[in-house]
Amino acid sequence: MSDSARPRVVLGVGGGIAAYKSCELLRLFTESGRDVRVVPTQAALTFVGAATWEALSGKPVHTDVFTDVPEVPHVRIGQEADLALVAPATADLLAKAAHGLADDLLTTTLLTARCPVVFAPAMHTEMWEHPATQANVATLRERGAIVIEPAVGRLTGADTGKGRLPDPAQLYAVADDLLVRGVGERGHDLTGRSVLVSAGGTREFIDPVRFIGNRSSGRQGIALAEAAAVRGAEVTLVAANVHAPLPAGVDVVAVESTAQLHEAMTSRAADADAVVMAAAPADFRPASAHATKIKKASDRPAPELELVENADILADLVSRRTGDVPVIVGFAAETGDDEASVLDHARAKLARKGCDLLVVNDVSAGRAFGRADNEAVILTAEGEAEHVPFGPKIALAHAIWDAIGRRLDTD
């Protein structure tokens, strides 16, 4: 594939210690066939030299607007880009971008870019939480830029807190979604919205070793959280025993049991504009859990397991809401039987639960669970049905947010 046919990515690198992580991010871009131009700040070259960026990208690297003047790089690089990603984005870079300053090649490139622009901040917690930084982030988001929430973890020195650059693979997933999907008409339609998503499958313990569970990997819920973050939302993901990498820019609440999932969802739903119940909670739990491992013995029968019913989280979320807020979405993993089809069972569930949308998966023959691809039907409370064809789970996630967005637009 020629360079002109490959998606063009500008990788901006700010002057923070996390600049070394962007070498891995660059590798992910180039190995996937992207045409990458690295544009560091002068401070960034203190951490990773120009020779490293040139060797990894195969392109020249400079920081000022007076190199290769006939090529007008301070205009051309931004104009020709399909995506601009700044990682790490320091507090200084965020401030310059928010105020339209242009004193080097990266800041002038950001002013000329008409493609999706993503900032991945990395700094100490105090700098991230400072009102000036938060105001700059709000300004950038209002203008349509995507500012990914920093991760929580070890920072420079012994400090720990919010401000860590997300894992390069997580940043790449956001960028890849934007390059494949594009921003489009509804690209940042969730800016200013707060959304709550659940993912995974709960576990109900029989003893310290054994539990009742299900086959949910959490991939679809994680895709929903990732898609919402890309579209500008403030996202909280309640993750129950998930088996897939978590997305960047998302606040994660880890839970294990259905009771924990219930508490996490109901305590946060009132502050959300939309709640998507993609997790698969166990319908039943043991009436009591053994404190020690149950031993198998040939001289006595296998123990009988008494089950009690768990709370209906989706129905409870609906009963607690005020008016039509938040928009509530449920999931139905169904199989047809002699009594009814998959959609018949799903429509009955939608009426019974009272949610606004129900995403229906036909899970017969092992479909949907643990796979990277999925197909579904999105049912509305008004009786409409939208079939989303088989494809990546991120595509289904965006279709779901499109349906949610249409309801939010009528608020």
* Dist CA 51 CA 36 (whole Å): 15
Tokens of 335: 């199989």
What integer pLDDT is reported at residue 1 of this predicted model? 39
Nearest to 203 by CA among 284, 277, 130: 284
* b (16+ CB within 10 A) / e for 51-63: ebbeebbeeebbb
User: Which alpha helices (DSSP H) does 156-291 contain, by range?
Assistant: 168-181, 219-230, 258-268
Q: What is the pLDDT of residues 198-208, one digit of tens each?
A: 999 999 999 99
Give the model's pLDDT for residue 222. Answer: 95
pLDDT for residue 153 is more than 70: yes
- Two tokens at 191? 């800016």
Average pLDDT value for residue range 262-285: 96
Q: Among 77-91, 115-129, 307-321, 327-341, which is the least confidently predicted range?
A: 327-341
Whether the pTM exceeds 0.75: the reply is yes
How far apart are the C-alpha atoms of 261 and 280, rounded to whole Å?
Answer: 10
All residues at 6 or more sequence positions from 216 whose CB lies less than 8 Å from its CB, including other chains: 199, 200, 201, 279, 280, 369
Residue 410 makes CB contacts below 8 A (sequence gap 6+) with none
Element (H, E) at 357: strand 357-362
- Domains (range + CATH), the chain: 3-181 (3.40.50.1950), 194-408 (3.40.50.10300)
pLDDT of residue 298: 77
Three-state helix/strand/coil letters over 294-331: CCCCCCCCCCCCCEEECCCHHHHHHHHCECCECEEEEE
Q: Find, among 254, 261, 189, 268, the residue nearest to 227 by Cα.
A: 189
Distance CA 292, CA 208 (A): 6
pLDDT given at position 159: 85
Indicate if the pLDDT at residue 260 is higher than 80: yes
pLDDT for res 365: 60
Closest C-alpha to 382, from 409, 408, 353, 357: 357
Quote the mean pLDDT of the chain: 90
The answer, yes or no, to whether residue 144 has pLDDT greater than 70, is yes
Residue-level pLDDT at 184 = 45
User: Which amino acid type is present at position 43?
Assistant: A
Nearest to 262 by CA among 242, 234, 238, 296: 238
Q: Are 252 and 268 in contact (CB under 8 A)?
A: no
Residue 297 neighbours by CB under 8 Å, 6+ apart? none
Model confidence pLDDT, tens digit, residues 219-240: 999 999 999 988 889 999 999 9
Structure tokens, 325: 């807020």
- Show which residues are catalytic: 214
DSSP 199-231: EEB--EESSSS-EE-----SHHHHHHHHHHHHT
In the DSSP assignment, the letter for residue 108 is H
Q: Are strands 211-212 and 204-205 parallel, antiparallel or unpaired?
A: antiparallel
- Does the pLDDT of residue 333 top 80, yes or no? yes
Q: What is the pLDDT of residue 2?
A: 40
The Cα 238–Cα 230 span in angstroms is 18
Query: pLDDT band for position 65 (50/70/90)?
Result: confident
Question: Residue 152: is its pLDDT beyond 90?
Answer: no
Q: How would residue 297 be classed by pLDDT, with cut points 50, 70 and 90?
A: confident
Say what the pLDDT of residue 187 is: 57
Confidence at residue 291, expressed as pLDDT on a 0 to 100 scale: 92
> To the nearest whole percent, how much of the chain has pLDDT over 70?
94
Give the separation between CA 147 and CA 261, rounded to whole angstroms: 28
CB atoms within 10 A of CB 393: 23
**Whole-angstrom distance, CA of residue 82 vs CA of residue 404:** 27
CB under 8 A, 24+ apart: contacts of 41-44: 41/12, 41/13, 41/14, 41/15, 41/93, 41/104, 41/106, 42/15, 42/104, 43/14, 43/15, 43/90, 44/13, 44/14, 44/15, 44/16, 44/19
Best-predicted range by mean pLDDT among 71-85, 173-187, 380-394?
380-394
pLDDT at 103: 93
- Provide the pLDDT confidence category of residue 351 given band limits of 50, 70 and 90: very high
Name residue, tokens 């205009």: 75
Burial (0-12, 13-18, 19+ Cβ within 10 Å), 281: buried
